[in-house]
Structure 1
Amino acid sequence: MNSTLRFCFHFTHAVSATRQSIPQAHRRPPITRGHKQIVKENASIQNRELKMADEQRPSTEQPPSGRQQEDHDEALPIPDKDIESNWDEVIDTFDAMELREDLLRGIYAYGFEKPSAIQQRAVKPILLGHDCIAQAQSGTGKTATFTVSILQKININLKETQALILAPTRELAQQIVKVIAAIGDYMSINVHACVGGTAVRDDIHTLQQGVHIVVGTPGRVGDMINQGALRTEAVKMFVLDEADEMLSRGFQDQIYDVFRFLPESVQVALFSATMPQEVLEVTQKFMRDPIRIMVKRDELTLEGIKQFFVAIEREEWKFDTLCDLYETLTITQAIIYCNTRRKVDWLTEKMQSKDFTVSAMHGDMDQRQRDIIMREFRSGSSRVLITTDLLARGIDVQQVSLVVNYDLPLNRENYIHRIGRSGRFGRKGVAINFLTECDVRYLKDIEKFYNTQIEEMPMNVADLI
């Protein structure tokens, strides 16, 4: 192991973990199904779509810092309260769920043998028609949970949109479409991804032909509704995937814009790996007595993923440390997270200048570029991907064995989404966090939030990957 990395292990620090509260977001007036008590936003669909990029532009010189000190004070979240489940029934086989035969066939063909914990508990109440808030950690089958529920309730003979699913990113929406199409393969299901970065006329044409399920990002979905291309009269299920992100302050207005067009009787389901209290307060505005299926805070750990930190005295030393890691470890596939698009570009250039083979993806790239990069990464032709939190939610790449947080996430909820890219479905994985002095209290906050302990990286880390 090189001297730079060895030095990092002996770097000591003593920084207070004091939290500073931030004020709660201004609370919106109540919102109901249909057209009653709706807050109409003046911002255009296009401007709202731009807000979906969950990255910030830095003002520092290269190398761009992970975050400035004032960012620490603003980003430290207020404490969350523990939320209790109110549904305990467990159905431990797909056969016992009384699903249609062609759906069961698709489930088993997809490779499922037994439902995961969230599937055992959440499918039944959704099929019974309850609004539902369901929480489980990354890699446990949340997407298949609402996919199975929707497919069971769809009337195949009705060529109208009956289920609408919103996701925070284009990549996640497209991933969901692939899962629905695969599990619904024997049902002649029509599902369409309605996302920005693609031709509007293609969306309009497909929607006018009639699709059973629409999965999309809020901006494009709202645009299609406003243009009359996406008709919502027959929608009976509305799903928010990654609800903590979707209902954060930057997304809730977009959700309301879509929600006001849905029928009064629409069933609402929210799925997410984390569910902070402020999100649950927002759901009260448009859910009726929801079933709550929650993973307790002290259960929010990623089994099989070893978490470490590397203490680095100065921001500019992170690059040498990463190069040392890259040369030391044999990596099947890895994801490196930075907090800004500019940092992604800078780091990619630096790595390539040292003859390391890496690829990069962030929200400034057009959809075609992003599709190509993701296809190469999934196929294994690209082994190391440098990205922002754009990729942190819901992208399932089974071979990822290592996640490096070059910058700790600005939002602690994103930590579990990031490191959940490794060790999918019980596979072993490693997460390594680069830690500067000003990151120490952030790491302590993450440890407290997830009731976990992140150890200093051992010298034999190569044996763990």
Structure 2
Amino acid sequence: MILTPPYKNLVAQAHNGSGKTTCFVLGMLSRVDPNRRIPQAICICPTRELAQQNKSVLMRMSKFTGITCASAISPALKDYMPISKMAPVTDQVVIGTSGTLIKWITNKKLATRDIKILVFDEADHMLAEENFMSDSTRIMRDIQSSAGDCQLLLFSATFNEKVKDFITKVIKEGNQIFVKKEDLTLDKVKQYKVRVPDEIAKIEVIRDKIFEFGQKVGQVIIFVRTKISTKNLHNALTKEDYVCSSIQGSLDHAEREKVIQEFKDGYTKVLISTDLLARGFDQSQVNLVINYDMPIKYNSRDEPDYEVYLHRIGRAGRFGQKGNVVNKIWQEF
């Protein structure tokens, strides 16, 4: 469907941890000519962490091909360079966030006339959030106007009806694969609900009950709703002599990369995160996810965000492995 002509557009929905990244990376590699030192494939991601992870997968899969890949992400402060001094991109594949890609294209550092394939990873998020949507559609139109017949691949574990309607209007020809809502939950991920009377009790339950279990199953990700909650929970657990790390969007890029790498290398077993890592983050040793705060829709006080919930729990039970999810509830969800 992706690898052989005719190269049709594709909108694909699949369970978390089912191999979507491998699928679209193969699609990009199959369309690239390694002998041409020009951009031929672009992948747009919602976060720099996911962009870096996707690049890592691509570099492993293309190890003996001679294909190179550029990361279109905002640099850490120590690596900052004015875009005017940046050399034009000659890598065949570019993976990055929409904001940085727009800057590169606008400043004529990223040529789009030879792009053969454009991938949207976590496409529902890229086309649902207003800022992401405007950047994404702008990149799409720029490539379609300069490159002409460019194949579009949109991948995600969830697609709401609003995004489906938009996709139908924008992508008139192509294949579509959707999963019924009732079939989206991962069969091998057990989900538990723990009722607690207040915020203090949440920490006590984690400390006295869940961590003991978590140490037996592997690594743990604890999802919270806000940056402040990330800091407060981290401080509360470290005071109890638990070794854990935390990540949220306001951290310096270099610090975020350090936290991610230490977790991937197994130096830390517990990672506290906002929804920064809810989508696409892949660490096979994570077998327990704790929803310290249940996800709520943006600009809403109490409307549950079921799609974010599915993405969060998808961090456990990757590629058919068994996983566990504990939901801490002190208000009715």
TM-score by structure 2 length?
0.90
Distance 1:400 1:327 in 2: 13
- AA aligned opposite 1:341: K
> CA offset at residue 394 of structure 1?
1.1
Q: In structure 1, what is the Cα distance between the partners aligned to 2:35 and 2:203?
A: 57
* From 216, 229, 239, the counterpart of 2:109: 229
Q: 1:320 to 1:220 in 2, by over 3 A?
A: same
Of 305, 312, 315 in structure 2, the residue corresponding to residue 421 of structure 1 is: 315
2:197 to 308, 313, 320: 313
| Residues 268/373 of structure 1: CA separation in 2 closer, same or farther (3 Å cut) | same
Distance apart, 1:224 and its partner CA: 0.8
Pick one of 50, 58, 62 that aligns with 1:180. 58
Q: Which residue does the alignment assign to 1:260?
A: 141
Q: How does 1:204-283 map to 2 (within 5 A)?
A: 208=88, 210-250=90-130, 251-262=132-143, 263-283=147-167
Tell me the alpha carbon deviations over residues 373-420 of structure 1, each in whole angstroms, 9 at most, x when there is no partner: 111101111000000110111111111111000011122111111111
Taking a change above 3 Å as real, the CA distance of residues 293 and 344 of structure 1, as seen in their structure-2 partners, is same
- Per mean C-alpha deviation after superposition, the further-off stretch among 278-287 and 329-338 is 278-287
Distance 1:289 1:123 in 2: 14
SS in 2 for 1:193: strand
CA distance in 2, matches of 1:202, 1:144: 33
Q: Which residue of 1 aligns with 2:81?
A: 201
Opposite residue 152 of structure 2, the aligned amino acid is V
1:300-379 aligned at under 5 Å gives the runs 300-331=184-215, 332-379=218-265
How much has 1:285 moved relative to structure 2?
4.0
Q: Number of residues paired by the alignment?
A: 317
**Paired AA for residue 144 in structure 1:** T
Residue in 1 that maps onto 2:299: none
The CA deviation at 1:330 is: 4.3
CA distance in 2, matches of 1:127, 1:311: 54
**Structure 2 contact 43–121 (Cα < 8 Å) conserved:** yes
Please list every run of 5 or more consecutive structure 2 residues that lacks an aligned counterpart in the other structure: 297-304
User: Is the radius of gyration larger for structure 1 or structure 2?
Assistant: 1
Moved more, 126-135 or 401-410: 126-135
Of residues 323-332 and 296-305 in structure 1, the stretch that sits farther from structure 2 once superposed is 323-332
Distance 1:398 1:231 in 2: 36
Counterpart secondary structure, 1:165: strand
Residue identity in the other structure for 1:190: T
Q: After TM superposition, give the deviation of residue 256 of structure 1 in Å.
A: 2.0
Tell me if structure 2 keeps the 8 A contact 1:127–1:153.
no
Query: Matches of 1:303 and 1:422 in 2, distance apart?
Result: 11
The structural deviation recorded for 1:203 is 7.4
Q: What is the rounded CA distance, in whole Å, between the counterparts of 1:431 and 1:358 in structure 2?
A: 18
- Tell me how far apart the structure 2 counterparts of residues 168 and 315 of structure 1 sit (CA, whole Å): 31
In 2, the alpha carbon distance for the partners of 1:176 and 1:297 equals 26
SS at structure 2 position matched to 1:177: helix
With over 3 angstroms needed to count, the CA separation of the structure-2 counterparts of 1:176 and 1:288, relative to structure 1, is: same
Secondary structure at the residue paired with 1:433?
strand
Alpha-carbon offset, residue 157 of structure 1: 1.4
Q: Distance in 1 between matches of 2:50 and 2:239?
A: 31
8 Å contact from structure 2 (residues 9, 152) kept in 1: yes
Task: Using the TM superposition, give the Cα deviation of residue 428 of structure 1 relative to its aligned residue in structure 2, in angstroms.
Answer: 1.2
Task: Determine helix, strand or coil for the equivalent of 1:317.
Answer: helix
Q: Calculate the aligned-residue CA RMSD, in Å.
A: 1.8
Deviations 1:18-63 (A, max 9, x none): xxxxxxxxxxxxxxxxxxxxxxxxxxxxxxxxxxxxxxxxxxxxxx
Structure 1 regions of 5+ residues with no counterpart? 1-121, 440-465
Can you list the C-alpha shifts for 1:262-302, whole angstroms capped at 9, x where unaligned? 13322211000011111111223432312001222222121
CA 1:327 to 1:277, structure 2 compared with 1: closer, same or farther past 3 Å? closer
Percent pairwise identity:
33
The structure-2 alpha-carbon separation of the partners of 1:297 and 1:191, relative to structure 1 and needing over 3 Å to count, comes to same
**Counterpart-to-counterpart distance in 1, 2:83 and 2:186:** 38
Aligned to 1:400: 286
Counterpart mapping for 1:33-112 below 5 A: none
Contact 1:189 1:212 survives alignment (8 Å): yes
Residue deviations 1:190-249 (CA, integer Å, cap 9, x gap): 111111244453877776250101001011110111111111111111110001111113
- Greater share of residues in strand: 2
Equivalent position SS for 1:261: helix
Q: Secondary structure at the match of 2:229?
A: helix
**Normalised TM-score (structure 1):** 0.65
Kept after mapping to 2: 8 A contact 1:337/1:404: yes
Counterpart-to-counterpart distance in 1, 2:36 and 2:242:
53
Following TM superposition, by how much is the alpha carbon of 1:257 offset from its aligned partner in structure 2, in angstroms? 2.5
What residue identity is the alignment partner of 1:421? R
Per-residue deviation, residues 73-117 of structure 1 (Å, max 9, x unmatched): xxxxxxxxxxxxxxxxxxxxxxxxxxxxxxxxxxxxxxxxxxxxx
Answer whether contact 2:89 2:110 (CA < 8 A) is retained. Answer: no
